[in-house]
Amino acid sequence: MEERHIQSAYDRDLEAVQAMIMKMGGLVEEQIINSAKALEIGDEDLAKKVRETDRLVDDLEERVNEEVARLIALRAPTAGDLRTVLTVLKISANLERCGDYAKNLAKRTSVLIHMSPIEGASKSIRRMAREVELMMKDALDSYITRDADLAEQVRQRDADVDQMYNALFREFLTFMLEDPRNITACMHLHFIAKNIERMGDHVTSIAEQVIYLVTGEFPDESRPKEDKTSYASEEGAI
């Protein structure tokens, strides 16, 4: 009876943490879409909202960390349960990082609004952001449903995001070569595209954590990685 009570308490605690994870995910999805939309329509208020939302994401990550620490201390989860708890921590960290990238995108948008637009760039960036947002939705769904196949699909779709980034990178180089006056705007746009590409990497990491949670093994390294520019490191993109 006592063992069932302990397990029941653990399940309740874990459900509460998972609810925070899903709330985090919803906020970050909103950040991604709104940051790209703000760029496309030149909406500085929407860009500001993205930056403000990041504080909520950071607060939720802190609460997740605190609750997980409490859960481990009080419930002493067994090996299988501990794997779930550690997966929650890693998903939370990846979501927080995506929020940081969206915030940076919004910051650069506030600068770009006052510059001459680069033809077609904002629409291409919004398509790329939309793909990452859909990947994130599926990655979080795969976690809730423990669907390793869906997680693997997300993992493979990161190659599409990389291809979008590579195409944008080449476009921005062309614009800069054609007219030096485009250089500043194109550099900002390049870093925005790189931020989105890095979001895709973090979403892929979430999917890989789900695969590990379900199967007990991390996927191999056969996932195609199509970002071949090596132009900006993760630190440089921020």
Neighbour-count burial of 234, counting CB atoms closer than 10 A to its CB (0-12 exposed, 13-18 middle, 19+ buried):
middle
Q: To which H or E segment does residue 119 belong?
A: none
pLDDT at 236: 45
For the chain, list residues with pLDDT below 50. Answer: 1-3, 5, 230-238
pLDDT at 2: 44
pLDDT at 224: 56
pLDDT at 226: 61
Domains of the chain: 2-237 (1.20.58.220)
pLDDT at 90: 96
pLDDT at 228: 55
pLDDT at 80: 78
- Per residue in 98-127, is it b (16+ CB within 10 Å) or e — as a string? bbbbbbbbbbbbeebeeeeebeebbebbbe
Q: Record the tokens describing residue 139, joined without a space.
A: 């990655």
